[in-house]
Structure 1
């Protein structure tokens, strides 16, 4: 039976669920859960989507993600593929890890968003060590919402949901905790068949349009750091490798190009090398304030009101 086309739009917020095949845990231990969150952060650096909530269990995980102009399928495919490769290497296995594609449902309005966050944060309720203490579960954003845990990866925009419970952060946290305790028996979002329904979602939110061309990116890099296209073919030159890595990363982020498309732009390079350069680019952003500032400036040029 053919797959249904996934409904996508640049300004959508999604409920995303990933699940392992039946006989395998998706996350064997804390190390695996941390690795998945780090991988998600890596892709967030590239695509600037927003994460409003998550909960990672042993066999599955839930996320609320605002695409912010990014292609959610490309984001999740990259995250899951990268994690599956790591998981198979670490655990000495081969073959598929995830059950089919990830599931996604468009979050239609603010009421649904709040209900969804309640459902996600109640996922650990049946775990022996967290029954009655779900806010202590370390792989859920509930502790971050309530100010009991740090966002170790800088991944979550937790205030977006909390603002619906009040502008005073302490009052909002108390109100939200009360709400969470009331919605333990939510039926609205139990393990459902996800329907892909498209809706405009909070049109007042800004987003980043991915309409730059490779020429646009090269021009902006030239103006800001003196990048020249000849650097793409230079070997054994550390500065050229840095600029080449940033160029690949920016093509992914601003032009919405696949690795195979980037190979055509650069020429004489494999997809695996492009993937490696993209990873180097992300590392450079995390360690170099100048490069991060350049990316922020280009993103601002892509921003809509």
Structure 2
């Protein structure tokens, strides 16, 4: 039977659930959960998506994810594919790690956002003995909201906090009550969040991914002080960085496939585009020369 097409929208917020196949735990050790968080962080840099809530259990995980103009399937495929490679290599096995595709559901109202987030944060209830342990669970973002921290550097707390007014002690206590009794995200929202007149700062600004590839190449060459034709030169290490950054930015902001990038760059394989994009990602976030290139590009366009 053919798969049902996934309902998706590049401007949406999603409740994402990933689950392992029945015979294995998705996260056998603490290190595995940390690895999954590190992959979220890596691809967050590339796709610029936002995480509003998360919880990782042993055999499944939940994310409240704002794709911020990017393709949700690309985001999750990148994360899960790399994690499956890591998992099979570490545990000396072959085959599938995840159960079918990831599950996704669009979150389209503030009320539903509150319920999904509470449901995600209530997930540890079946493995802990007290309510306090739910609040302290290491791999849930609830602890980060409580402690005003961001341990794994992937969480955006402002949007949910502004929507629900969590900067107010009354509203935060109301949210904790909601978490502790939330058994299903389709339940009615039956707690009250009061508006205390604070400034609303949670408006979403979604990145547009419709940049023209030629504009990317022109920007990168100008930024690196190269001629535009240099990006098309193969087998010359002098131009590898501008080729890598061009591939990386096109994959981020032009909403085109690797196959299309091959045609733009000319006479290059998809595997080479993937290698160059990975190098471009590394350069953009680790080389001081290029550390502002994403912001500069967005401002220029």
Bin the TM-score by the shorter chain: 0.7 to 0.9
* Residues 1:126 and 1:272: Cα distance change in structure 2 (over 3 Å): same
**Larger relative contact order (Cα-Cα within 8 Å, sequence gap ≥ 6):** 1
Per the alignment, residue 6 of structure 1 pairs with 6
Unaligned stretches of 5+ in structure 1? 190-203
What is the CA deviation profile of residues 181-225 of structure 1, one whole-angstrom value per residue up to 9, with x for unaligned ones?
3x2434637xxxxxxxxxxxxxx6321111112201011112322
Q: CA RMSD in A?
A: 2.4
Per the alignment, residue 284 of structure 2 pairs with 285
After TM superposition, the score normalised by the length of structure 2 is 0.86
Q: How far apart in 2 are the matches of 1:48 and 1:25?
A: 29
* Residues 1:234 and 1:140: Cα distance change in structure 2 (over 3 Å): same
Q: Which moved more, 1:272-281 or 1:66-75?
A: 272-281
Count of residue correspondences: 286
Taking the TM superposition and a 5 Å limit, the aligned residue runs for 1:202-221 are: 205-221=204-220
Deviation beyond 4 Å, 4+ runs, structure 1: 169-172
Q: Which moved more, 1:96-105 or 1:273-282?
A: 273-282
* Residues 1:229 and 1:62: Cα distance change in structure 2 (over 3 Å): farther
Taking the TM superposition and a 5 Å limit, the aligned residue runs for 1:229-244 are: 229-235=229-235, 237=237, 240-244=239-243
Q: Is the 8 A contact 2:213 2:254 kept in 1?
A: yes
* Residues 1:130 and 1:251: Cα distance change in structure 2 (over 3 Å): farther
After TM superposition, the score normalised by the length of structure 1 is 0.85
* Residues 1:236 and 1:24: Cα distance change in structure 2 (over 3 Å): farther
Q: Is the 8 A contact 2:213 2:250 kept in 1?
A: yes
Q: Is the 8 A contact 1:163 1:172 kept in 2?
A: no
Q: How far apart in 1 are the matches of 2:221 and 2:244?
A: 14
Unaligned stretches of 5+ in structure 2? 188-202
Per the alignment, residue 25 of structure 1 pairs with 25
* Residues 1:171 and 1:128: Cα distance change in structure 2 (over 3 Å): closer
Per the alignment, residue 262 of structure 1 pairs with 261
Q: How far apart in 2 are the matches of 1:216 and 1:31?
A: 41
Per the alignment, residue 52 of structure 1 pairs with 52
Q: Is the 8 A contact 1:210 1:254 kept in 2?
A: yes
